Amino acid sequence: MGSTKLFVRTVGGVLRGGKGTQSILLARTFSSSTRRFNIDKVVPSALEAIRDIPSGSTILSGGFGLCGVPNTLIKALVSQPHIKDLTCVSNNAGIDTSGLGLLLASGQIRKMIASYVGENKTFERKYLTGEIDLELTPQGTLAERCRAGGAGIPAFYTPAAVGTWVQTGELPVRYKPDGTVAVLSKPKEVREFGGRQFVMEEAIVGDYALVKAWKADKLGNCVFRHSANNFNGVMGRAGKVTIVEAEEIVEVGELEPSSVHLPGVYVSKVVQAVEGKGIEKLTFSEEPVEEATDKSALGEGKTFTKRDLIVRRAAKEFKNGMYANLGIGMPMLAPNFVGKDVSVVLQSENGILGLGPYPVKGKEDADLINAGKETVTLAAGASVFGSEESFAMIRSGRIDLSILGAMQVSAKGDLASWALPGKIKGMGGAMDLVSNPKRTRVVVTMEHTDRKGNPKILDACTFPLTGPACVSRIITDLCVFDVDPVQGLTLIELAEGVTEEEVRSKTQASFKVAEKVGKML
């Protein structure tokens, strides 16, 4: 019997063609087929979920500080010490007793790719004694490298880190046991676009991604809560195999489709989270917010006087309607002194637009922290998002003002804020925050001299740069300088009781004096 070819086409849901004519109504129910709901990515335990991870793997881990950290999966890895020589990619490594700090302590990590060493003493010690390698990467660049990896983009150009050790290849990747540098990073390609310089960065793709979700369904769709989104979304997209631990696992159809942050197509396995959530820095308002006093967050004695002066003067930088990002320490106190007629929206680079005050004790939330890992609240009208979105708005100049601390500032506005000789804590998000100074105004708050009385305003910075020619104003306990990358420093304000001569004696860099020098307050 010869073969018969059957040509089929659809017309209005009817199949036509072939020898004779057949009419078949199509139900078009494939998108809601019950067979699709038979997909179940839930595995019975974390140990089962990580069982196939071999030694030498690259592991992407979500989390920022202790917020949104996949501790259930990390502890499962720690219980399998034969899985070693890992390269771990994360913003930081938690602390000694939580997060990736546990894998550092167990000796299973060979290399970290991170933006911040932070307060993890094990991380710092192992790095500075050559026990692990470290590829320091600016926080926004790290988020974008993972986002690009998940999007199939091999490399991209960013303005962050131009003119710094990240670009020039002077970052210590590995130390010798005696503390000397064994291996330096490689220089990065720089290209000019629109009259600005940009650094080329390569994407990151992980063999495995470990993600912490608030809710996940059996298809792997995930929802993150508040600032626990941070790096979890980008890490989940950039893993070849993504394993999610969820606080709550729900049936298919229970998640509102528009609320899904990480679609199930990226997720391979889902497991129930069994470890609790930690908070790195519990920070409270001493009184209910509406009754709090301005001075409640400041120090006492001489410390009070200096901090009070600098913070109160920094508050004058806010203008009504601004979007502002504040560094940890003194900058975070400035909003306490903003007048009631000025409304400012505060941004935190770990994924919050609309920061509220510190919570009252007992009202803290482990899923709500700022970039300093402190507990915070959300203001009315706030929004939350992933770290990649946060740094997109920073680099593109959507943030009007960034107030940062500093170790040194040069006469041309170069900023050094992230490393001291023999101590490298990491740059965090600072290099991104100063990467677009024409759109985002950068103001530095700091004491005029260091603890030994040495000037911190210099002709040229001696510490590694955070960014070149990026600072436009310096506020110290003695005075206020305006900074121009060509003209240099101009003294525009003096603190009460401070003379021009005192400022000159405590400032290495030369400076001009404005025709009319005002009072700081």
Strands 488-494 and 479-484: antiparallel
**For the CA atoms of 75, 80, 85, 87, what is the dihedral angle to 10 degrees?**
-30
The 3-state secondary structure of 153-215 reads CCEEEECCCCCCHHHHCCCEEEECCCCCEEEECCCCCEEEECCEEEEEEECCCEEEEEEEEEE
Separation of alpha carbons 485 and 413, rounded Å = 6
SS3 helix, strand, coil % of the chain, rounded to 5? 20, 30, 50
Strands of the 196-202 sheet, one edge to the other: 155-158, 196-202, 190-193
**Angle at Cα 257 formed by Cα 256 and Cα 261, nearest 5°?**
100
Spell out where 264-369 has E strands.
Answer: 269-272, 323-326, 345-348, 352-355
Encoded tokens for 436? 């677009």
Encoded tokens for 96? 């000694």
A 10 A CB-CB count for 303 gives 11
Phi, psi of 338 (to 5 degrees): -80, 135
Catalytic residue IDs: 349
Which stretches of 42-171 are DSSP H helices? 46-50, 71-78, 101-105, 121-128, 139-150, 165-168
Phi, psi of 313 (to 5 degrees): -70, -40
Which stretches of 270-403 are DSSP H helices? 301-315, 330-333, 387-395
Phi, psi of 497 (to 5 degrees): 85, 0
Q: Which of 220, 277, 248 is nearest to 64 (CA)?
A: 277
Provide the residue count of the chain.
Answer: 521
Give me the half-sphere count of Cα atoms (radius 13 Å) on the Cβ side of residue 454: 10
